[in-house]
Chain A
Amino acid sequence: MTMDRRQFLGRLAASVAVAALPARLAAQQATQGTGAANVPMDEGRYRPVRLPAKSSTPSMTTDARDALEHRIHCMCGCNLDVYTCRTTDFTCPVSPAMHRDVMALVAGGYSAQEIIDAFVNVYGERVLMEPKKEGFNLAGYLAPFVALGAGGGLVIALLRRWRRPAADAATVEPLPVDATPEELAKLEALLKRDDQ
């Protein structure tokens, strides 16, 4: 598995694609704007999410509505959900406006999923606190477990490989030891203590 300098440089060259990363990152940074709760909020990030009422009966309880707001990302530039942001920072102009939209949709009889879909239609997928479990996003959810599974497989394979020499060694006749049973017992006890 050891490689020389030339092999290493060859492989390194293959990963030069990484060089494109800074440009991508810079582009993202440019569009990201504020990006933190400790900088002024951007009121312009709010966009109305409104639909005609389906019914005059609210679709859910206040607790269920609060739970729904925990799933919607406040778009002011912070990393909080709408419920947490609106009840935490009264300088944020975006989360109260998003909250009003949620309340109007709940009052209009829309279900949680319909409200989520309406927000996604307006803001895009980034309005969700976690990505939808579909398409490329599945890579996001599955990769840690796939990596862990692969790592677990590797660990088990290594343990089995390392175990073989020890098992082979066990079949070799032990050399005669010039020691009394008491001395051997003492040695065994010392080894056990060392193993603790």
Chain B
Amino acid sequence: MNNLINLTIDGKKIQAEKGKNLVDVAKDNGVDIPTLCYFKSINPTLGTCRICTVKLNGRYTTSCTTHVTEGMDIEVNTPELLDNRKAIIEMLYAEGNHFCPTCEKSGNCEMQSHAYNMGLTVTRYPHAFSEKTIDFAPERMIMESNRCILCKRCVEEIKTKDGKSVFSFIKRGVNTRVQIDYKEERKLSEEEALHAMDICPVGAILIKGIANEKPFGERKYDFLNKNVHTSLNNNKIELKEGEKFVVATTSLAGCFGCHMSLLDIDTDLIDMLEIVEFNKSPLTDIKNFSKQCHVGLIEGGCANDENVHVLKDFREKCDILISFGECAIMGGIPAMRNFVPLQECLEEAYLNGLTSELGADIIPAHEDIPKLLDNVYPCNEVVKIDYYIPGCPPNAQHIWKVVKSILLGEEIPIAHDEFKYD
């Protein structure tokens, strides 16, 4: 063929068909450029998610909008570009409401898969807590805006037979949402509706009645097995002769599942107790700190003022503070109330809910009852957190491995399954 051209990707010389999309060229040559909005049949390409940003002849551009030509010099996997990509995924996590354990698409979600591949354990950005809705009104679909990443795939791809849009962007800026046109949505065939759900790279478009078709552990992204090396750059803790490491734990707004997982450490608990003693902890039932601790493990986020006081107390009494479990790291399930005003939450729970008494007019309030906060906060927004162990709950062996490494100041590789939690 005479329309072959030469280019380099990360210094590797490559021949490719002229005008072919850079994402595909790279893939053919064993270089994986992650993409979210890129979808083969949509032309021109969307270029909305920006995670495929590379450097072309020294200038930043997205691969999905680049058609290869002679002499291109492309950088894909430089530390800077890798971090850019990870940053954008983190931004998406911070912007939306991505609680994987409750998501129908978990395991079939492209964004989740990227997050796993990039070794994303926590987002560097604070959560946006933007007001988004779930639209149940369409006949066949549910539009879960909290999960929508506005990739625009559905807007461009899904049209009725007479060429009208079913999905449209409305508003602008941080308020941009995808909205379904109910009338047009009814015109879609079963197959077209399923197609809409399938092309959604996250779990924003759902078809009523279909969820988790495949059981956990048998889905598209369940078998990714990448090792992520996490470096722990803390100084080794010096112990005096005969002393043990002192650890404290607590559960704030969580379900105690992470503590259950702690108990699952099982026979290793015996090894553990050789070097560790527990101070304040539900495991020992010690209610107050009796001394300064080396490590504090926090389960759960802050939902009320008592949580905040306990957390601040832990920060003061523990040299190293670790958030373990999703709720501590990002608010988790309790934080789902952040999308409903506090007043509505309380009224639903105590006044209007099905289980409340007829004519109920009291929301319990007493100085001994902790005050609910306006939002559920992840611990790192209240105090400084040194390490995060993600998972819902984190695997028992994994918790021990990480804590041990922190105590002993060792570096450990973390296998993918250990922090993959669904």
Partners in one complex: no
